[in-house]
Amino acid sequence: MSTKLARPENWKEQAPEALPGSLTFAAQSSLPKLPVPKLEDTLTRLKETLKPIAWSEDEFNAVSRKIDAFSVGQGPELHRRLVEHDKGTKQWLEKWWDDGPYLGYRDSVVINVSYYYGFDVPKPGKFSSPAERAAGIARSAMIFRQKLKQGLVQPDASFCMDTYRWMFDCCRVPGIEGIDWSVTYSKPGDLGDSGHIIVIRKNRVWKIEAARDGKILSTADFTRQLQYIYDNTVGEHPGVGVLTASNRDVWAKPLQDLEELSKSPNNAEVIKAIHSSAFIISLEDAKPSDPVHHSRALWHGDFVAGFPVGLRNRWVDKPVQFVVFDNAYAGLMGEHSVMDGTPTARMCDEILDWLEDPSFDHGAPLTTTKDVPVPLDWDVTLATTEAIAKADVAARELCESQDLGFYLTSYGKDAIKKFGVSPDSWAQMIVQLAYRRLLNGQKRNGGTYEAATTRRFFKGRTEAIRVVSEESDAWVVSMDDPTVSPAQRKALFDAATKRHITLAKAAGQGQGVDRHLFGLKKVLAEGEKAPELFSDPVLARSNHWVLSTSAIFSKHFPVYGWGEVVPDGFGVAYMTGFNDRLQYTITSRREMPNKQFIDEIAKAADELYQLHSEVPNPKSML
């Protein structure tokens, strides 16, 4: 590995293009471009979203005047530049979005960027050892990789599949110029019948060749090799992996950390093996037994005597890193920069389906006891040892600053749909009511972000649904107003959910507010005076995401989540796909009232159900 940590200009082009005409990528060439919304439409929507965020009529009028001035001043020229930029690209937002919130982000990816999925809690007796569970994951994930490379993975409806290029055989790399990138070792024409995986146990890195003679190893082969790793890794090895959890500039700093580490030719080969691996499996000592511990053990790993034993045993720059604990609990820790969570959720869902199917092909053994994993041990200098010690402290301070709460409602999708309500809108309104009560009369200091996918467009990723609306606020207020009848509350709720659905559909069609405004800011020339609107306090407040929310679903995920995005906010990961429950995971800083917020969500969920029981609606939706 080169120690020149400057980003190549064409790094994104290095991952092989999708196989043209294959099942997986058949629709790629016909996908529409991500639109640049009309300026007047965006500004109209912006005004609507700012009305409930403003603290007073005067404050709203002031920002409205700035929007009007922008619409006839610098706005049309900036929009013209953005349209011209769009004409010269396949996707006008891609590079800016990769670099802005992700690759240019300099704090640790742990908590701040990474996410986790917990897998089915193992039933007693299902696995004879954690090696057996890890082996099933290894074989099934390698088969998914093979199908993907051959273009045999069923596409996600009519969605763009481009980011699947960055699922396997690649890794994020820290850059010394304040900007990261990803390296890929995928090759055009690779059919997925070769490759290796990296396994980490007690901080020791092992390499397993995952295929032989064009065939993926059997589950039995993987089990035996993984058990060999368990049996031959007794003591702790240097916790080099924790360096990847550092601030990105610290991790990339010249002559320290990564460059110091990779000056050794041996270490450079270890790093290359990690980067080029199909994926990583981290085998960890923890034995989580409840949703909170399962979540935290995946999110950032355990701490023992103040040391981050989990993060020492990982390489958090890897987009796909499975984690298997000593009691066979398992899950995935994902790096978010060039691939959102829906592709990895789909991959995990599919491989876990296979492993539940009695007809799944576990393969015939291909190796013998003479075939064993190869240990890849680090050359650790004094400088690297000191860097590990500093990274240990930083990781402990970061992770100990976090709180996490978990809640399941007593009803789920079936009951909500019987009430004629969109489960997603229902779940979002619970959060709005709970948060207002949590504020207890204090002014709202930010907006609510819900991620909407824009993958119906070529290289589309996400747009923000600005959940807070005048309609949602009116319903929320009514729930604590004794003069409002249940029927009136129900009518206000219906208006709020109708508005939420409208906002969600617009965002999914690339007709939101935030990505367009982001693009208009990016086309400002160097030294050019920014429009007054861009520094307006109400606009700034509206995208200070005190509630960062998103939903995915897999029946195999008893836990999932990520960290809050602002210090005074909450991360709200929720699932609405279970028939009998809604699932909420709430993350925040320790100083935030996490437990109180969970309690308010529980109360709001019960009251919303009671409201619909009192005022029934036989109509069925979604």
Active site residues: 336
Distances from the Cα of 532 to the Cαs of 64, 74, 521, 535, 542, in angstroms? 11, 10, 12, 6, 16
**Residue 6, number of CB atoms within 10 A of its CB:** 11
* Other beta carbons less than 10 A from residue 197's beta carbon: 27
Q: Which residues contact 591 (CB under 8 A, 6 or more apart)?
A: none
* Cα angle: 450, vertex 455, 456; to 5 degrees: 115
SS3 per residue for 279-318? CEEEEECCCCCCHHHHHHHHHCCCCECCECHHHHCCCCCC
Ramachandran angles phi, psi of 535, nearest 5°: -110, 15
Buried-state track 32-46, b at ≥16 Cβ within 10 A, e below 16: ebbebbebeebbebb
Place of tokens 């979203």: 49
Alpha carbons 310 and 304: distance in angstroms, whole number: 9
Q: From residue 184, give the alpha-carbon distance in Å to each of 17, 173, 263, 274.
A: 12, 10, 21, 11
Positive or negative torsion for Cα 583, 309, 140, 356? negative
Spatial distance between the Cα atoms of 302 and 284, rounded to a whole number of angstroms? 9
Q: Is 79 left (phi over 0), alpha (psi -120 to 50) or beta?
A: alpha
d(CA 533, CA 78): 13
